[in-house]
Amino acid sequence: MIELKRIINNTDPQLQELIDLYIESFPEDERREIEQLRRLIESSPEMHLCSIVSEGETAGLFIYWNFGNFFYLEHLAVHPSMRNRKIGQLLLEHVDKTLPGVRLLEVEPKEDGEMAARRIGFYERNGYHILYKDYIQPSYKDGKDTLSLWIMGNQSTDHLEEKIQIIKEKAYYQPCAE
């Protein structure tokens, strides 16, 4: 069984462990500045930074955004010591029950290599489908390159372009420094 424990302030004792996993799991171009992440925890109610808990242990981290009429699943990482225990699958089953409606996420195109193809296969086995192949992910940081990615979702959705614009405006175009 999987539980999500939302981190709601920067004094949470588990936050540093999750930040370390975040840094370890995602290349610099695919993650936020840590100070920006800390600020969003307390200032952006749409963003949910959660600890994934399995059998009482911290199994990983999950960041998603609640935009009212859809959810954007931004980051999912499992602790190396907890891999091969179906944590990701259990998380997506939990998400399916607790985040009703449209859920969108970004993936690297299959052509980007074996890991990208495996990641897409994982999401497809868990009910997600490729919805859009011409997506350009904005950079998390000024001066960094954008990325060509695909959008996957758990269902077809009307107004996909509008939802993508909301993701870009609210999840990406956040100032790095105050």
- In the predicted model, is pLDDT for residue 144 greater than 80? no
Q: Residue 26: give the domain boundaries.
A: 2-172
Question: Per the domain annotation, does 178 fall within a domain?
Answer: no
Tell me, rounded to whole angstroms, the distance of Cα 36 from its chain centroid: 16
Distance separating alpha carbons of residues 55 and 1, to the nearest angstrom: 7
What's the pLDDT tens digit per position in 113-130? 898 999 999 999 999 999
Question: Per the domain annotation, does 74 fall within a domain?
Answer: yes
Identify the pLDDT of residue 5: 98
> What is the SS3 assignment for 81?
helix
Question: Per the domain annotation, does 48 fall within a domain?
Answer: yes
What's the pLDDT tens digit per position in 73-94? 999 999 999 999 999 999 999 9
Distance separating alpha carbons of residues 145 and 128, to the nearest angstrom: 27
Angle at 99 between CA 98 and CA 102, to 5 degrees: 150
Distance separating alpha carbons of residues 137 and 148, to the nearest angstrom: 6
Distance separating alpha carbons of residues 49 and 121, to the nearest angstrom: 25
Question: Per the domain annotation, does 91 fall within a domain?
Answer: yes
Write the CA distances from 114 to 50, 117, 118, 119, integer angstroms.
28, 5, 6, 9
Identify the pLDDT of residue 161: 96
Distance separating alpha carbons of residues 123 and 89, to the nearest angstrom: 9
Question: Per the domain annotation, does 177 fall within a domain?
Answer: no
Number of domains the chain is built from: 1
Count CB neighbours of 106 within 10 A: 19
The closest of 106, 109, 103 to 137, measured between CA atoms, is 106
Specify the CATH number for the domain of residue 89: 3.40.630.30
